[in-house]
Amino acid sequence: MRKIQELLRLKHEQKLNNREIATSLKISASTVSAYLQRAHHHHLSWPLPAEFQDDERLYELLFPPSTLTHSDSRPEPNWRDLQHELKSHKGVTLLLLWHDYRAQHSDGYGYSQFCAHYREHVKNVDVTMRQHHIYGEKGFVDYAGITVPWTDPLIREIQQAQIFVCVLGASNYTYVEATRSQNLRDWTSSHCRAFEYFGGVPKILVPDNLLSGVTSPHHYDPDVNLTYQDLADHYGVAVVPARVRRPQDKAKVEVGVQGIERWILAPLRHQTFFSVEEINLAIKPLLEKFNQRPFQKMDGSRHSVFLAHEKEKLKSLPAMRYPFAEWKKATVGIDYHVAIEKHYYSVPYRYARKAVTVRVSANTIDCFYQQKRVAYHQRQFKPGHTTCKDHMPQSHQAYLEWTPERLIKWAAKMGGHTQQLIAELLNQRAIPQQAFRACLGILRLAKKYSEQRLENAAERALAIGAIRYKSVESILKNGLDQLPFTEPSSLINTTPPQHENVRGQNYYQ
């Protein structure tokens, strides 16, 4: 109202035109014109009379409240039934209801008057009913601002239980429970129990933007937590997060939380609890009384409206409760395995070095690449490797067909020295499979040089301690296997030389 007073001063005292006044007050010229017309209608100029220098008195004079009077000659619709129609059937609009009304009463209200009277009815019934909620369409979820303290008898410390709240949009039927935290497991488990309490699932969930539900809040395109989306897919419900800093998007749960804090949490303030389970036992009867409390401006209660209208509109529960699973981002290693809690699980080798999404449930590991499942394993709970043969390239699969016994048996066909060489090569490695490639290389030298030459080369390699593929290959390549061979021990003189600087072994006794 200060702007109207300043507007009149600028007009009558400063003699500014409407456009100049609009620029000064940062309002439109049409608004200036409208205000001046209202003031002229009531013979107001500047300075204002003393009785209208009060902002409220001036506002009441210039903007008297509009009153809708129902004409006795016009048939009056049942506004409560119309409100029920809007909530019960998706696609029903005031325009459609007005057409039905005029079909029965040709002398009834025009559309604009019809809408004005309806809005007046809704305003008088309950301000929270301004949003039209369809039965079975939306469920609003959030945590209450108040926590409930409980004493952990093991560590003798006071903990704070979180209060989960889920409210159905049309009937206001409410579910409440206490949890240890707001983490992902508690968040999803609370949803499961809420759906079971309702005996069905709404079509849409409207959560707040806490991290367990929404990983990246955004005005137009929020990112829903993958586990939360997995739960939504399991129950066939859509997740539409409330906009950031828009409490009107979840007004139902906001109002519901206020009632819960007043009628459920406040009565528990003097009680002492030693577990979250005790808190939930105390909440249960209070929640039943809360849902059965009569509405102040409507007939019935949350419970009666739920049973009469909303319960039948909910979607059926699936055959089994949602099995909790965490989703993690991982990069496939060059060995085509991903690490989950110190255990390595294989994926097809073509996804090596690529980023994948891993679903970790109580019993299974699922790997997804671009929303397509590429690997599935039973979950293991100790360090190690789980490798599927089909995930390996053909060259790696070939080694799976070999065992140490098979390699030694093949070497025995070529001779005892070859068999001994392969056995010692396998024993050198902590994991025999690490020596498979070298063993196969040595045995395949027989194709190039003959089995007899390989046997001779193996004898020489054993004698000089050269238990390597490169050593055997060098012996064959240089023809050393075909030269006369003398045992190394016969070539070594074990008698120490006689010299004054050689003290002998007894010197250190």
433 — pLDDT class (breaks 50, 70, 90): low
Q: Give me the pLDDT at residue 216, please.
A: 45
Going from the C-alpha of 468 to that of each of 399, 403, 434, 464, 509, the distances in angstroms are: 19, 19, 13, 11, 40
Q: Rounded mean pLDDT of 227-231?
A: 89
Taking the domains of the chain in order of start, what are their residue ranges?
2-62, 79-125, 138-313, 325-397, 402-491
Q: Identify which has the larger pLDDT, 239 or 2.
A: 239
Decide if pLDDT at 166 tops 90: yes
In this structure, how many other beta carbons lie within 10 angstroms of the beta carbon of residue 72? 6
60 — pLDDT class (breaks 50, 70, 90): confident
In which order are the strands placed within the sheet that holds 364-369?
Answer: 325-331, 355-361, 364-369, 372-378
Extract the tokens encoding 305: 């409206």
Q: Identify which has the larger pLDDT, 287 or 2.
A: 287
In this structure, how many other beta carbons lie within 10 angstroms of the beta carbon of residue 392? 18
Residue 279 one-letter amino acid: I
Report the share of the chain in percent with pLDDT over 70: 82
Decide if pLDDT at 20 tops 70: yes
Q: Rounded mean pLDDT of 132-149?
A: 87
What is the Cα–Cα distance from 107 to 38, expressed in whole angstroms?
34
**DSSP code, position 506:** G
Q: Give me the pLDDT at residue 380, please.
A: 92
Q: Identify which has the larger pLDDT, 103 or 195.
A: 195
Decide if pLDDT at 65 tops 70: no
Q: Give me the pLDDT at residue 220, please.
A: 35
Q: Give me the pLDDT at residue 290, please.
A: 93
What is the Cα–Cα distance from 102 to 111, expressed in whole angstroms?
9
Q: Give me the pLDDT at residue 217, please.
A: 43
pLDDT tens per residue, range 474-489: 999 998 888 887 665 5
What pTM value is reported for the model?
Answer: 0.53
Decide if pLDDT at 173 tops 80: yes
In 19-30, which positions are buried (b, 16+ CB within 10 angstroms) versus exposed (e)?
eebbeebeeeee
Nearest Cα residue to 375 out of 330, 342, 322, 433: 330
CATH no. of 138-313: 3.30.420.10
Poorest-pLDDT segment among 63-77, 281-295, 301-315: 63-77
34 — pLDDT class (breaks 50, 70, 90): confident
3-state class of 284 per DSSP?
helix
Q: Give me the pLDDT at residue 289, please.
A: 93
Strand partners of residue 377: 365
Average pLDDT, whole number, for the chain?
Answer: 82
Residue 303 one-letter amino acid: H
Q: Give me the pLDDT at residue 396, please.
A: 64
Q: Rounded mean pLDDT of 222-247?
A: 77
pLDDT tens per residue, range 363-411: 999 999 988 999 999 999 888 888 888 888 876 666 666 778 888 999 9
